[in-house]
Amino acid sequence: MPQADRPQITLITPPTFDLEVFPDQLAAVMDAVDIACLRLSLASADADVIARAADACRVIAHARDVAIVIENHVKLVEPHGLDGVHLTDGARQVRALRKDLGPDAIIGAYCGTSRHDGMNAAEAGADYVAFGPAGNTPLGRGETLEFDLIEWWSQVIEVPCITEGALNMDLIRRYALVTDFFALGPEIWAAEDAAAALKGFMQAM
């Protein structure tokens, strides 16, 4: 597939990371591969930890003209200069947040494997809709994404879609034919060289 036709990449941060180490790793990955968006996905419930991580990642992303969104923590978007929010509960908050954050903010919605939820999110004003998991995982409800959903979406719906969750090389090759974006994170951060791991996925596209 020509490079121009490849899906774009949303890079997901690890759920926890060392601020003394991770920023350099993140910069190396973003210098090695074109990233469309960085998603800050933290497990912490400590507002200070999340805020410091947001600031560090924003500096790296914006220095490379990459947008950065944060999962769910809407109140941190404006104070920390982030570009938007990634909602993990589908379409429920999209319409209200569009009014709160304004037309320029990025609002994305994760809709699992539900075409109905995805359509609701798109109609409510989401900038993108994420679906997954594409691969088998013991997490969540045990459901896996159907290829037909992404294929149908790409043909019918103008709002871009992201395919994510337990991705591997075979799934990347298959879904690259129909998805607009892949969201990758856990698939690369466990590797000794995260940038090389991401390059491998890019080659599979």
CA dist., res. 166 & res. 203, Å (int): 18
pLDDT for residue 3: 52
Q: Which of 96, 129, 98, 135 is nearest to 114 (CA)?
A: 129
Inform me whether the pLDDT recorded for 27 exceeds 70.
Answer: yes
Reported as half-sphere exposure (CB side, CA atoms, 13 A), residue 95 has a value of 7
CA dist., res. 69 & res. 73, Å (int): 10
pLDDT for residue 141: 75
pLDDT for residue 139: 72
On the 0-12 / 13-18 / 19+ scale of CB atoms within 10 A, 25 is middle
Which domains, and CATH codes, for the chain? 3-204 (3.20.20.70)
Q: What is the 3-state secondary structure (H, E, C) of 59-105?
A: HHHHHCCCEEEEECCHHHCCCCCCCEEEECCCCCCHHHHHHHHCCCC
On the 0-12 / 13-18 / 19+ scale of CB atoms within 10 A, 167 is buried
Residues 132 and 110: beta-carbon distance below 8 Å = yes
pLDDT for residue 111: 97
Inform me whether the pLDDT recorded for 109 exceeds 70.
Answer: yes
Percentage of the chain exceeding pLDDT 90: 94
- The residue type of 178 is V
Residue 2: pLDDT band (50, 70, 90) is very low
Question: What would you report as the CA-atom Rg of the chain, rounded to the nearest whole angstrom?
Answer: 16
Percentage of the chain exceeding pLDDT 70: 98
What rounded mean pLDDT belongs to the chain? Answer: 95
Residue 1: pLDDT band (50, 70, 90) is very low
Output the DSSP codes for 5-55.
GSPEEEEEPPSS--TTTHHHHHHHHHHHS--SEEEE------HHHHHHHHH
Q: Give the model confidence (pLDDT) of 135-193 as tens digits.
A: 998 877 778 999 999 999 999 999 999 999 999 999 999 999 999 999 999 999 999 99
Q: Give the model confidence (pLDDT) of 47-92 as tens digits.
A: 999 999 999 999 999 999 999 999 999 999 999 999 999 999 999 9
